[in-house]
Amino acid sequence: MSRSMLVGVVAGIGVATAGGVAGFALLGKSTPSEQNVAMVQPEPAPVAAAPAVAPAPVPQPVAAAPAPKPAPRPAAPRPVARPAPEPVQTAAVPPPVPAEECWDEEVTVTEDPKDQHAIAGTALGAVVGGKLGNEVNDSDLSTAAGAAAGAFIGRRLQRRMQENREEQRTTTTTVRRCGPAGVR
């Protein structure tokens, strides 16, 4: 792949991303209050004057006799309200307090490595691998392949070194703990 082609691909991706972000920003912010929409009302049709004609008489309905009302039902007897019983007063007894027990417990703590993601080993390996790849063949592809392989190897070496130092980062302390009796 030539340099000009690589530059063109990267530039095209950048322009497409910028266009997508700008389009999303414009579409995402439009609300009905921000849009200028003209509402078009249809014009009413002209009404022609009609000749004056008397309307036809409408037949009137015959009034029906009202239906007889049913006899009222007798009211159901209502229950008599009784006063609520008075609560019984009892002496307040405090709940029993559980006995507390204390003991010494050894706690082992392992500190995390300072460089948890092995960034230093990855970066150093990438630089050395890229330099060696360039020495083998003076092309961008061999330099990139050497950098990738160097980064992988550098990361693995740093992680292995951190695992070997784990004994140095482990500390054991004695902690006094207390709790209810019989829990321990």
Q: What is the pLDDT of residues 148-159, one digit of tens each?
A: 999 999 999 988
Q: Report the pLDDT value the prediction gives residue 115, as an integer from 0 to 100.
A: 77
Run of H or E including 8? helix 3-29
Cβ-contact 102, 178 below 8 angstroms: yes
Share of the chain above pLDDT 90, in %: 17
Answer yes or no: is pLDDT of 106 > 80: yes
CA distance 93 to 162: 60
Q: Report the pLDDT value the prediction gives residue 9, as an integer from 0 to 100.
A: 76
Please tell me which residue, 10 or 131, carries the higher pLDDT value. Answer: 131
How does residue 147 score in pLDDT terms, banded at 50, 70 and 90?
very high
Answer yes or no: is pLDDT of 178 > 70: yes
The residue assigned the tokens 């015959």 is 62
Q: What is the pLDDT of residues 30-80, one digit of tens each?
A: 444 544 544 555 565 555 555 555 566 666 666 666 666 766 776 676 777
Question: Comparing 24-28, 116-120, 132-136, which segment has the lowest mean pLDDT?
Answer: 24-28
Q: Is 61 helix (H, G, I), strand (E, B) or coil?
A: coil
Residue 154 burial (CB count, 10 A): 22
Query: 53 CB contacts (<8 Å, ≥6 apart)?
Result: none
Q: Report the pLDDT value the prediction gives residue 49, as an integer from 0 to 100.
A: 53
Q: Report the pLDDT value the prediction gives residue 171, as an integer from 0 to 100.
A: 84
∠ CA 158-164-169, nearest 5°, is: 100
Of 109, 112, 125, the residue nearest 163 (C-alpha): 112
Q: What's the mean per-residue pLDDT of the chain?
A: 75
Q: Mean pLDDT over residues 122-135, rounded?
A: 92
Cβ-contact 107, 170 below 8 angstroms: no
Q: Report the pLDDT value the prediction gives residue 17, as an integer from 0 to 100.
A: 77
Q: Report the pLDDT value the prediction gives residue 61, as an integer from 0 to 100.
A: 62
Answer yes or no: is pLDDT of 138 > 90: no
What 8-state DSSP symbol labels residue 97? P
Of 133, 128, 122, the residue nearest 157 (C-alpha): 122
Long-range CB contact pairs, 162-168, < 8 A, 24+: 162/113, 162/115, 162/118, 165/113, 166/110
